[in-house]
């Protein structure tokens, strides 16, 4: 088949990582089909180098189609590619996308706000006004999500939410669990040096990796208070939080809160890191810390398992579904409880090693990058064939 891949809309977070993983995979294992992929600059940066392959054309669109006016350049370009390439199916790696297609449209989707929002996630929004605006944005998302002919989701919880909230038919839904990219497995085998932005760790210091972009449901605002509790509970052992945020408003606000609590020195920001450099961050940190209150399937969980780092995360259903007994859990609304969970892991090497061992045991259940690619490709082809049967 001829498959047009649309990853032009992905600029931050897990969507960029999924696109990097998929483009690498199609270049390596997609030789039975013809591909034309349109990617964002952020996906290109995550790739490091664009793979060269005779069965795929991979090009970069400089402007996100989500931009109302400037994005028309990209949507027009993709429309021209669709006319000239004449694909059997279009695969949008992670929707919503802001474009209609003539061909069958298969959409990857992982917006938990639309499929399984929680009360804690809504409480994370800073005001009623922001909540109202966000609900309007979600309605806009939902309108574009419904334009697809079939969807590829990461969990059965998300699939159930699609049927309940977006009126999708179960036959249109395909569940393909997330996993970490192959370069994490390569790094685990060959070893990885700490990221250059992380100086040599002083003796006795611990670093908690907060590997995420800024979104309200990530609950990053709790971290300064957790840092203050850690300093109060164990002032002799510095525990620093390593962020990957742009040097602008969200990071500045976290810095200000930490400064007010006297723990500004415990928050470190290395800035956004390309996907391929992720293993270097894990290599320079002691554990993964995720206080999130809403996820579908964060790749950070299997990444930490692969890099043999203990996971400390929110005690919520989505986290337990993925991590099982391979994580230490805490109430994401209680800084003192979160600090206790951190100290129980970092202060007990046997406990940390036990979590790492359980993570190694759990990791194979998510599959390899090749297995995820083949499962995703199978879902894409099924959506195309089902649409073709329905139009005869």
CA dist., res. 319 & res. 81, Å (int): 40
Q: Would you list the domain boundaries of the chain?
A: 2-179+368-391, 183-366
pLDDT at 243: 97
Position 204 pLDDT exceeds 90: no
Q: Is 324 left (phi over 0), alpha (psi -120 to 50) or beta?
A: left
| Same fold across 2-179+368-391 and 183-366 | yes
- Whether pLDDT at 391 is above 70: no
pLDDT digits (tens, 9 = 90+) for 323-352: 999 999 999 999 999 999 999 999 999 999
For 154-172, what is each residue's pLDDT tens digit?
998 899 999 999 999 999 9
- Whether residue 114 has pLDDT greater than 80: yes
CATH fold label, 183-366: Rossmann fold (3.40.50)
Q: At residue 88, does pLDDT exceed 60? A: yes
Third-level CATH fold of 2-179+368-391: Rossmann fold (3.40.50)
Cα-Cα-Cα-Cα dihedral sign, residues 12, 209, 159, 178? positive
Kindly report whether the global pTM for this prediction surpasses the value 0.75: yes
- pLDDT recorded at residue 87: 97
Residue 389 parent element (H or E):
helix 369-391
Mean pLDDT of the chain: 92
């Amino acid at each position: 088949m001829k498959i047009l891949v649309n990853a032009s809309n992905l600029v931050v977070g897990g969507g960029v990582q999924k696109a990097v993983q998929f483009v690498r995979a199609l270049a390596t294992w997609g030789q039975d089909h013809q591909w034309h992929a349109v990617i964002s600059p952020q996906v290109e940066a995550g790739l490091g180098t664009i793979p060269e392959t005779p069965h795929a054309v991979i090009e970069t669109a400089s402007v996100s189609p989500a931009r109302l006016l400037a994005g028309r350049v990209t949507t027009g370009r993709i429309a021209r590619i669709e006319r000239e390439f004449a694909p059997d199916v279009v695969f949008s790696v992670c929707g919503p996308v802001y474009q209609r297609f003539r061909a069958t449209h298969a959409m990857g989707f992982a917006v938990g706000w639309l499929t399984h929002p929680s009360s804690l996630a809504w409480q994370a929004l800073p005001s009623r006004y922001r909540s109202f605006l966000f609900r309007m944005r979600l309605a806009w998302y939902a309108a574009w999500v419904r334009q697809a002919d079939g969807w590829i989701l990461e969990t059965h919880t998300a699939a159930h939410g699609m049927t309940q909230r977006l009126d999708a038919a179960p036959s249109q839904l395909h569940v393909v669990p997330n996993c970490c990219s192959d370069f994490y497995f390569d790094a685990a085998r060959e070893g990885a040096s700490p990221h250059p932005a992380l100086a040599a760790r002083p003796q006795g210091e611990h670093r908690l990796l907060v590997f995420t972009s800024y979104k309200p449901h990530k609950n990053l605002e709790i971290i300064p208070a957790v840092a203050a509790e850690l300093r109060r509970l164990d002032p002799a052992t510095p525990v620093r939080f390593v962020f990957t945020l742009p040097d602008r408003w969200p990071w500045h606000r976290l810095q200000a809160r930490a400064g007010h609590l006297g723990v500004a020195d415990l928050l470190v920001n290395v800035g956004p890191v390309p996907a391929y450099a992720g293993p270097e961050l894990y290599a320079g940190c002691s554990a993964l810390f995720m206080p999130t209150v809403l996820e579908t399937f964060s790749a950070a969980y299997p990444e930490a398992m692969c890099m043999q780092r203990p996971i400390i995360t929110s005690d919520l259903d989505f986290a337990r579904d993925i991590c099982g007994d391979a994580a230490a859990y805490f109430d994401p609304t209680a800084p003192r409880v979160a600090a206790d969970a951190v100290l129980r892991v970092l202060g007990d090497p046997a406990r940390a090693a036990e979590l790492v061992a359980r993570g190694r045991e759990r990791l194979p259940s998510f599959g390899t990058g090749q297995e995820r690619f083949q499962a995703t490709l199978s879902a894409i082809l099924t959506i195309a064939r089902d649409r073709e049967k329905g139009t005869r």
